[in-house]
Structure 1
Amino acid sequence: MVELETVFELLSDERRRYALYYLYERNGPVAVENVVETVEEWEDDAPDGDPEGDSFDEIALELQHVHLPKSAEVEFIQYDPDRNAVQINGSPPEFDAFVTVAKLLETPEE
């Protein structure tokens, strides 16, 4: 069981939420590059998104050094910077419920 405070903290940043939404829909490890591409696209498509927003490299840097390591502090998210891969595995029901609702409310399109 994961504490709700931890789930809320994971979902507190838009860029990290977008990464988690993408990972939640995948089975197995995902290349960080794929996560970055999707986050970049969703940020550009967001209603308040800046079409001149951060570049791919800026998003990659922030995800690799801030958001993915932060997410990997919970046992069900594994981030391997050496393999440049990340995955969600065995997420608890509390996380599943909140990430599903948050994604529906925020509606980034795949």
Structure 2
Amino acid sequence: MASLNTIFDLLSEKRRRYVLYYLEEQGESVPVDELVETVADWESSASGNDIPADKFREVEISLVHTDLPKTANVEFIEYDVNEKMVKINGTSPEFDTIINLAKIIEEPESEE
């Protein structure tokens, strides 16, 4: 299992938390574009095509260049740069509990 410091480091950035929440929900490989759209949607409280292009691009740059590489440093997140796919796999019950509690507290889908 990843150390508590590593987990808290991952959770210290909102976009990384959103990525973890979404990956945990999906339970399978997710295209980076889908992650970008979801995070942008949760941040802007817009849906689908209503996300401004500049917001989508801002989130995409942040995820691809900073947040996804950082999350891929833990053993249970697989980030395939070439295929542009991300998957969470083999998390510990402790990690699942922390992520679920954080998501309940933050409620990203309803954020404004």
TM normalised by structure 1 equals 0.88
How many residue pairs match? The answer is: 106
Q: Once the two structures are superposed, what CA deviation does each residue of 1:17-41 show, in whole Å capped at 9, x if it has no partner?
A: 1111101111221000000000001
4+ long deviations beyond 4 Å: none
User: What CA distance in whole angstroms lies between the structure 2 residues aligned with 1:86 and 1:57?
Assistant: 18
User: What CA distance in whole angstroms lies between the structure 2 residues aligned with 1:13 and 1:23?
Assistant: 16
Aligned ranges 1:1-110 → 2 under 5 Å: 1-45=1-45, 55-109=55-109
Deviation at 1:92, TM superposition (A): 1.3
Contact 1:78-1:89 at 8 Å conserved across structures: yes
Percent of residue pairs bearing the same amino acid type: 50
One-letter amino acid of the structure 2 residue matched with residue 12 of structure 1? S
Unpaired runs of 5+ residues, structure 1, are: 46-50
Task: Say which structure is richer in helix.
Answer: 2
SS in 2 for 1:109: helix
Contact 2:2-2:75 at 8 Å conserved across structures: no
SS in 2 for 1:28: coil
Deviation at 1:97, TM superposition (A): 1.0
SS in 2 for 1:25: helix
One-letter amino acid of the structure 1 residue matched with residue 65 of structure 2? H
Deviation at 1:62, TM superposition (A): 0.9
